[in-house]
Amino acid sequence: MPDKAQKVCVVTGAAGGIGTALVQVFHDASYRVIGIDRVESAIAGNGSAYLKMDLARYAADEAYATTQNARIREELNGEPVAVLIHNAAAQILGSTDELTRADWQATLEVNLLAPFLLTQALLPELERVQGSVIHIGSIHARLTKSRFVAYATSKAALAGMGRALAVDLGPRVRVNTIEPAAIETAMLREGFAGKPELYAQLEGCHPQQRIGQPEEVAQLALAISNGALQFLHGATINLDGGISACLHDPD
């Protein structure tokens, strides 16, 4: 039986690199975490729980979403939601010539529609404690590259939705967005497998001369969620090692 005094944090994409860090950091801060992901995983301690859920189906199938909302509420056991973190994302790469309707549908369902619908579903639980919704966006919302059309568009829309929700919800629930640059996850490392020189080049593109860590994203989310920053609302925060300030011109 969870401690009734604990705050509850719901995290989507809980099994990924950033998701795992979010779960751990909020767990260490004495939150009870409800992790959501489409793959099997486990969360231990603090009365926390893990729910296997397909967010694309959640966005597309109302009956499925109703069932999943009931599962989340069963885990909440009548408690409010202090923090809801939309971290799950689909990254389907393809050029303008290649992207299909199915690619766009999958991208927007996971990256945009599911975050809205889950926020809407849990709004009563969030509002009870003037909770915090955090979108984990991406630098691709502002600065992107070829083959990221669908992903970059969805992340730009996610940041826009964060601002619009802040205006629409007013003081009822705070909504903010974190936009990281390159973060050292298993997915990033796999993409540079056997290419150490390209990985070093990526590090060098950031003024800090390094890649960000998942724990840094999680610590920023925790800071946003805690009570000391109640005036932070509708904001988009760059966590990018300074790369968005760089102008890459030939010398």
Q: Is residue 241 within a helix (H) or strand (E), and if so which, with residue range?
A: none
- Residues 222, 122: Cα–Cα separation, whole Å: 19
Neighbours of 12 (CB within 10 A): 27
Q: Which of 173, 129, 127 is nearest to 7 (CA)?
A: 129
Q: Which of 239, 191, 214, 187 is nearest to 18 (CA)?
A: 214
Is 79:2 a contact under the CB 8 Å cutoff? Answer: yes
Instruction: Decide if 64 is catalytic.
Output: no
Annotated catalytic residue within 31, 58, 151, 199: 151
Neighbours of 204 (CB within 10 A): 10
Torsions phi, psi for 32 (to 5 deg): -90, 120
Q: How many Cα atoms within 13 Å fall on the side-chain side of residue 43?
A: 33
Joined together, the tokens standing for residue 243 give 């790369």
In sequence order, what DSSP letters do the residues of 81-122 get, joined into one string?
-SEEEE-------B-TTT--HHHHHHHHIIIIIHHHHHHHHT
Angle at 62 between CA 56 and CA 67, to 5 degrees: 90
Active site residues: 151
